[in-house]
Amino acid sequence: MPHDTHDDFAFEHAPGLPARLPKGEHMLWQGKPDAWQLAVDSLLLRWVIGYFAFLIIWRVGSAFADHSVGVAFGSAVPLLIMGAVAGGILYGFSWVQARATVYTVTTERVLLRVGAALQLTLNMPYKQLENAALDLRGNGTGTIALEPKKDGGQMVSYLVMWPHVRPWRMAKPEPALRCIKDAENVASILADAAEAHMTMPRVARAPQPAIETDMPAGAIPAE
């Protein structure tokens, strides 16, 4: 039986890159979101867990007044199961998003390959960026939001890009590298690349001067 070599991302030249990088452009960093942190930040997983924990404690405490310890704890089992299912669904969604996402920083731009069901690659050259903001967490993960220029920057849809956008910036969505590990170092790499790109001298080909001759106007050169 032949070995199945089918690749869901075979259309990509390399992971996260829809085509070969142009000559002179180099990849500086590539990564993806941390699944747990993405669930915590974008889906409020900790709040959901806390909500069900409060309900379980309240349920057990209320049952103690009229029932035995075993019955009191048993009454909380349905809530425990619902909480586990809800948390599992939220984490599962984040895991799928993280697995399907590839963020790439090059010497010329930032690329975001996002989308679990429908793949989308957002190309953001540094010349189209107004600013970048780092939101750092205590565990070293963080989000780097990219603010497009008002004139000439790419406009993106908040719903299409979510959760790979800066939270609550719906009027002017800002694509973001969400919940990446070692975010401070990645932000430094991006900042250095953007600064080098902006200060890099541009060399243009000069027009060729016309060849001057002493031949009279209208004369035909001899063969």
Q: Where are the domains of the chain?
A: 27-33+102-199, 37-96
pLDDT at 171: 85
Q: Which amino acid is at 183?
A: A
∠ CA 126-127-133 to the nearest 5 degrees? 50
- Exposure string for 172-190, b = 16+ CB within 10 A, e = fewer: ebbbbbbbbeebeebbeeb
Spatial separation of the C-alpha atoms in residues 157 and 175, rounded to whole Å:
9
Spell out the per-residue pLDDT of the chain, length 223, in tens: 444 444 444 445 567 787 888 898 999 999 999 999 999 999 999 999 999 999 999 988 888 877 777 888 888 899 999 999 999 999 999 999 999 999 999 999 999 999 877 888 999 999 889 899 999 999 999 999 999 987 765 678 898 899 999 998 888 899 999 999 999 999 999 999 988 876 655 555 555 555 454 545 455 445 4
Instruction: Give pLDDT, residue 57.
Output: 92
Looking at residue 205, its pLDDT comes to: 55
CB of 134 closer than 8 Å to CB of 143: yes
pTM reported for the whole predicted model: 0.78
- DSSP letter (8 states) at residue 2: -
Token duo for residue 79:
């809530």
CATH number of 27-33+102-199: 2.30.29
Q: What is the pLDDT of residue 89?
A: 96
The side-by-side arrangement of strands in the sheet containing 27-31 is 27-31, 102-106, 109-114, 120-125
Tell me how long the chain is: 223
Q: Look up residue 17 and give its DSSP letter.
A: B
According to DSSP, the residues that pair with 154 across neighbouring strands are: none
CB proximity list for 163: less than 8 A, separation 6 or greater: 38, 42, 43, 97, 178
- Asked if 115 contacts 28 with a C-beta cutoff of 8 angstroms, the reply is no
